Amino acid sequence: MATSDRIDVKKTYKLYINGEFVRSESGRSYELKNKTGKFIANPAQGSRKDLRDAVTAARAAHSGWANATAYNRGQVLYRVAEVLEQRKNELITAYTLETGSTQSVAQKNVLAGIDYWVWAAGWSDKIATVLGSTNPVAGPFYNFTAPESLGVVANFPIISGGFLALSATIASTIVTGNTSIVVANEKSPLIAITLAEILATSDVPNGVVNILTGKDSELQPWVASHMEIDGVEASGLNKKSLGELKIAGAQNFKRIAYFKNSTDYKEIERLSAFIEYKTVWHTVGY
Amino acid sequence: MMRINIDSTPSSLKSFLNELPKVDQVGAAARAAMLATRSIKNDSKKKAIDLAISMVDLTTLEGSDTPGKIKSLVTKALHPDPSNPDVPHVGAVCVYNDMVSIARAELDRIGGQSIPVAAVSTAFPSGRASMAVKIQDTQDAIAAGASEIDMVIDRGAFLSGDYKLVFDEIVAIKDICGQKAHLKVILETGELVTLDNVRKASYLAMAAGADFIRTSTGKISPAATPPVVLVMLEAVRDFYNTLGIQVGVKPAGGIRTTKDAIRQLVFVKETAGDLWLDPRFFRIGASALLNDLLMQRMKLQTGYYAGRNYVTID
C-alpha cells in the first residue's frame, strides 16, 4: 500500500487530571496555530470545573506524596528524567511545532529541561539539611526547624522558557512534597501534554501533577479564589492577571511566588517558595 | 390497579410477590441515566442542597466508634456549619445500638431535641442471629432513646424463597417499635441480585408494616445504585396509590457528592412525586456527603470554591 493511501491518525490532545487523560468537561477545544498562522492542533480548552477536578485530585494525592520519604521522591523525579531521555524526540517535535524554532534550539531547550529533573531529584533529600536548622534556645530544649510541603500549588510556567521552564516549575514544586496543577500557556499546550504522557508512564503517583491546557486568563480568577489551592507560582502570568491574582488570593491567604526568566532556573528560591517551616521544641531529658 | 391483599400464609405471600410485574433492567438503567443528566440551575441548586442537608441521616457505623466521636457527630448534626446558622440541621443521626443513649443525651443537652436518633438493629449488618437476639437488640435501642429503628432483613431467607420468615420478622420488630419508633427496613439490595428481587422485597417490607424502606447497610457494594432507588420509589408510589399508605425511602451507601444527592432528589421528584420531597419520607444515609453539601453551599454563597479546611472533620 502506498503511504499516501493511509488515513491520518490525528491526535486528540486532552487534559491530564488525576493520572487520566480527559476531555474538558466543557467539551471545548481551541485552535492552536503557529507563528505563520498555520493550523497545528485542537488542544482541549480547560474550564473552571476541570480546574476544580484537578484540585480535588491534587488534594487527595498530597498526603501520600508529602509523606513519601524524600529519598523516594528523589527516585521518582530521577525516573522521570530517565523516561524523558528515552522520549526526548517527542518533546523536541512538540517544541519546534509550537515555537517554529530550529531543531538545534529545540534540542538544547529540551535537554536542559531533562537535566533540570535530575538537578531537582538530587535536591530532594538535601533540602531539609540546607533549609532546616537546629536552633539555640535558652532552655532545656532541643529545638529544630524542618521544611515541609505547603500543599496544593498551581503553576503558570513562563512560556518563553519552553520545556526548561515547564520542567523547572513542576519539578521544583513537587520535589518538596507539594502537588501541582499546571496551567499550560495557551500558546504552548502540546509540549505540556507530551510531558503529561511521559509522566503518566513514569512513577509519579496519580494526582501529583495535573496539567490543564486552555486560556490562563480564564482560569486565573478561579485559581485565585479557590480556597483549596495553597500557593501559586505566577511567573507566566502577565501584569494584569498577576495583579488580579494577588488581590483575589489575599482573600484566602494564598502564597504567590513570581520568578523572572532565567538561563537555567536552578535557584534554591524555587525550591523554598512553597515550603512551610515547622519548628519543634523537644524536651531534653536529664 | 395493583392487587395488594395479603393474608400472611406462605403460599399467599409467595403468589403475591411472584405475580408482581417484572422490572425491565435495561429500561430502569436507561431511565436513571436519563434523569441523572438533568441540569439544575443555581437557585434550584441552593434549595436542593438545603433540602438534602435536612434529609441526611448522619451516620457512623464503625467498630471504632467512641463516645467522643458520637458527641462530635451529633453536634455536627445540629450545626452542620457552625459559622453559618441558617444551615438546616440534618434529618437524624444513625448509630449502633450501644451508642444510642450517648447520642440522645448529647442531642438533648445541646438543644437538638427535634433530631431523632436512629439505631441499626436486628444484628446489623448481616442479620445472622436468632430472633430472640434481634428482638432484644431492638428493645434495647428503643429503651435507650432511639426513635427510629433500621432493621436488616434476612437476605438468606429471602433468596431461598422463605418470604414468610422475612415477613414475620419485620412484623415482630414492627410490633416492638409500635408508636415509639419508626421502622426502616434495610433490604441490602446489593445482595438481592436482581431488580425483580428489589421490587419483591420492597413490597414484602411495606406489606409487613415498614415505615421506610432503606436500600443498603453501607457495608457492601454495590449499594444505592440509581436503578435500585428508582425501583423502590416506584414501589412506594404504587403502594401509596393503591392503599393510601405513604412509605418513605432511604438510599444509603455510595452517595458522597452533592451531585449524587441532587440526582437522588430528581429521582424522587420524577418518580414518587412532591409528597416524598420531605425529610419525613426521604432520607439519605451518609457521612462524607454532608461536608460536600456544605462546601457546595459555600461555593454558591461566596462564588469561590471552598476548601476542606473550612468544614469540620468527622
Amino acid at B65: D
Chain A residues within 8 A of B292 when measuring between CB atoms: none
Least confident of A49-53, A194-198, B88-92, B304-308: B304-308
For B198-236, the pLDDT digits (tens) are: 999 999 999 999 999 999 999 998 999 999 999 999 999
Please check whether residue A63 touches B, CB under 8 A. no
In a domain, A235, yes or no: yes
Cis check for the bond before A147: say yes or no (omega within 30 of 0). no
| Distance, CA of B273 to chain centre | 17
Mutate to test the interface with A, among B298, B305, B311, B313 (most CBs of A within 10 A): B305
In a domain, A2, yes or no: no
Residue B169 near residue B154 (C-beta atoms within 8 A): yes
Asked if A252 and B304 come within 8 Å (Cβ–Cβ), the reply is yes
Asked if A227 and B307 come within 8 Å (Cβ–Cβ), the reply is yes
Q: Once rounded to an integer, what is the mean pLDDT over residues A224-231?
A: 95
Q: Once rounded to an integer, what is the mean pLDDT over residues A215-238?
A: 95
CATH of the domain at A150: 3.40.605.10
In a domain, A1, yes or no: no
In a domain, A30, yes or no: no
In a domain, A53, yes or no: yes
Please check whether residue B307 touches A, CB under 8 A. yes
Please state the pTM of the whole predicted model: 0.87
Structure confidence at residue A229 as a pLDDT band (50, 70, 90): very high
Asked if A55 and B305 come within 8 Å (Cβ–Cβ), the reply is yes
Structure confidence at residue B312 as a pLDDT band (50, 70, 90): confident
pLDDT at B6 over 80: no
| Distance, CA of A262 to chain centre | 17
- Please give the mean pLDDT across all residues of chain A: 94
**In angstroms, what separates the C-alpha of A3 from chain B's closest C-alpha?**
44
Angle, helices B258-267 vs B42-55, to 10°: value is 90
Distance (Å, whole) CA A180 – CA A173: 7
Question: Which grid cell sits at A197?
Answer: 504522557
Structure confidence at residue A8 as a pLDDT band (50, 70, 90): confident
Largest CA distance in chain B: 60
Residue A37 near residue A154 (C-beta atoms within 8 A): no
Asked if B305 and A59 come within 8 Å (Cβ–Cβ), the reply is no
Question: Which grid cell sits at B214?
Answer: 432503606
For B161-206, the pLDDT digits (tens) are: 999 999 999 999 999 999 999 999 999 999 999 999 999 999 999 9
Chain B residues within 8 A of A244 when measuring between CB atoms: none
For B126-135, the pLDDT digits (tens) are: 999 999 999 9
What's the pLDDT score for residue A221?
Answer: 95
What's the pLDDT score for residue B313?
Answer: 78
Asked if A225 and B309 come within 8 Å (Cβ–Cβ), the reply is no
Structure confidence at residue B307 as a pLDDT band (50, 70, 90): confident
In a domain, A33, yes or no: no
For B262-274, the pLDDT digits (tens) are: 999 999 999 999 9
Q: For chain B, what percent of residues have pLDDT higher than 90?
A: 87
For B257-304, the pLDDT digits (tens) are: 999 999 999 999 999 999 999 999 999 999 999 999 999 999 999 899
Chain B residues within 8 A of A55 when measuring between CB atoms: 305
End-to-end CA distance of chain B: 47
**In angstroms, what separates the C-alpha of B20 from chain A's closest C-alpha?**
42
Element (H, E) at A111: helix A103-123
Mutate to test the interface with B, among A49, A227, A276 (most CBs of B within 10 A): A227
Instruction: Tell how strand B148-152 and strand B117-121 pair up.
Output: parallel
Cβ-based neighbour number of residue A88 at 10 Å: 18
Cβ-based neighbour number of residue B62 at 10 Å: 11
Least confident of A217-221, B4-8, B52-56, B89-93: B4-8
In a domain, A32, yes or no: no
Please check whether residue A192 touches B, CB under 8 A. no
pLDDT at B2 over 80: no
Structure confidence at residue A1 as a pLDDT band (50, 70, 90): low
- Please give the mean pLDDT across all residues of chain B: 93
Question: Which grid cell sits at B98?
Answer: 450501644
What's the pLDDT score for residue A64?
Answer: 97
Please check whether residue A55 touches B, CB under 8 A. yes
Three-state secondary-structure class, residue B58: strand
pLDDT at A247 over 60: yes
Q: What is the ipTM of this complex?
A: 0.78
**In angstroms, what separates the C-alpha of B303 from chain A's closest C-alpha?**
8
Structure confidence at residue A119 as a pLDDT band (50, 70, 90): very high
Question: Which residues 200-259 in chain A show a CB within 8 A of chain B?
Answer: 222, 225-228, 251-252
Distance (Å, whole) CA B24 – CA A64: 44
In a domain, A245, yes or no: yes
For A188-216, the pLDDT digits (tens) are: 999 999 999 999 999 999 999 999 999 99
Length of chain B as a residue count: 314
What's the pLDDT score for residue A276?
Answer: 96
Distance (Å, whole) CA B304 – CA A222: 8
Q: What string of H, E and C letters represents the secondary structure of B229-263? A: HHHHHHHHHHHHHHHCCCCEEECECCCCCHHHHHH
Chain A residues within 8 A of B306 when measuring between CB atoms: 227-228
The phi, psi pair for A244, rounded to 5°, reads: -65, -40
Least confident of A260-269, B137-146, B243-252: A260-269
Count how many domains chain A has.
1
What's the pLDDT score for residue A2?
Answer: 59
Q: How far is CA B96 from CA A83, B77, B82, B146, in A?
A: 52, 16, 25, 10
Domain with A91, as residue range(s), is 14-25+41-283
Which strands form B212-214's sheet, in the order they lie side by side? B248-250, B212-214, B182-186, B148-152, B117-121, B92-96, B56-59, B284-286
